[in-house]
Amino acid sequence: MRCAGPGGGPGSLAWAHGVRSTGPDLSKLISAWEEWEAGEQSPGKVLANMKTAGLPQVLRRLVDTGWSPTD
């Protein structure tokens, strides 16, 4: 059963099981991207790895801080 809420925060599956997220793992995000670029992983696997490594939190943080691609 998955509770509503962003990964690692109150209401998330990890939180419900007593596991607190330490935040996004940027090295894992880069590694997943590099595997994609090298053709080593399927798109679905890359997206799953990036989600697990914290991409949603990174994107939320960028939006929250006002970052834009033209910066």
Cβ atoms of residues 37 and 19 within 8 Å: no
Q: What is the pLDDT of residues 11-70, one digit of tens each?
A: 555 545 555 567 999 999 999 999 999 999 999 999 999 999 999 999 999 999 999 988
35: which 2 tokens?
């595997």
Residue 47: φ, ψ to 5° = -65, -40
pLDDT at position 10: 52
* Domain layout of the chain by residue ranges: 23-64
Distance CA 7, CA 57 (A): 8
The crossing angle, in degrees rounded to 10, of helices 26-37 and 55-64 is 110
